[in-house]
Amino acid sequence: MKQFILLAALLALAIGLTACAPQAPAPTATPATTITPEASPAATQEAAEAPKAEYRQLTAEQAKARMDSGDEVIILDVRTPEEYAQGHIPGAVLLPVSNITSDALELLPDKSAEILVYCRSGNRSRQAANALVDMGYTAVYDFGGIGSWPYDVVTE
């Protein structure tokens, strides 16, 4: 029985540490497919479809670069209102992970908008990013937790 408890504790620790690990850089975009006049109708239809919904991971530095790029991005904080009030990234929109499925369409009506998601440590942001992708959002980027954010935060 002690071995089982020890094994369960080690497994829980490993999962917890994995959730807090630094995020891998985002993959580079694949080049667009060129459709030639000889292309089949099926290939033309496939190329015309909307981009595949997927979430990608960014580092804090990559996320900050996207925020500073001048491009329109949505910074999405998925923590609780109390955590948000204690400090959040400037310009962040609050949508707690527990409300993603019920409130995302109202707060985030454009499913092709670039959304940068964060939480406290990276666990809830990953859950929220996966939920958004499941709902059809196509440009979702998880950059982990505010705990590893080396830039400015604002408080209410």
Q: What is the pLDDT of residue 11?
A: 47
What are the structure tokens assigned to 130, written together? 């996966």
Residue 20 domain-assigned (yes or no) = no
State pLDDT tens for residues 5-47.
544 444 444 444 444 444 444 433 322 222 223 333 443 344 4
Q: Tell me the residue range of the domain where 150 lies.
A: 51-156
Q: What is the pLDDT of residue 75?
A: 98
- Give how many domains the chain has, as a whole number: 1
Beta-carbon count within 10 A of 83 CB: 17
List the catalytic residue out of 119, 132, 139, 146: 119
Angle (nearest 5°) at CA 99 between 95 and 27:
60
Whether this model's pTM surpasses 0.75: no
d(CA 133, CA 139): 8
Residue 35 domain-assigned (yes or no) = no
Residue type, 53: A
Helix (H), strand (E), coil (C) string for 138-149: CEEEEEEEHHHC
119 is catalytic: yes
Q: What is the CATH number of the domain that holds 77?
A: 3.40.250.10
Contact between 144 and 124 under an 8 Å Cβ cutoff? The reply is no
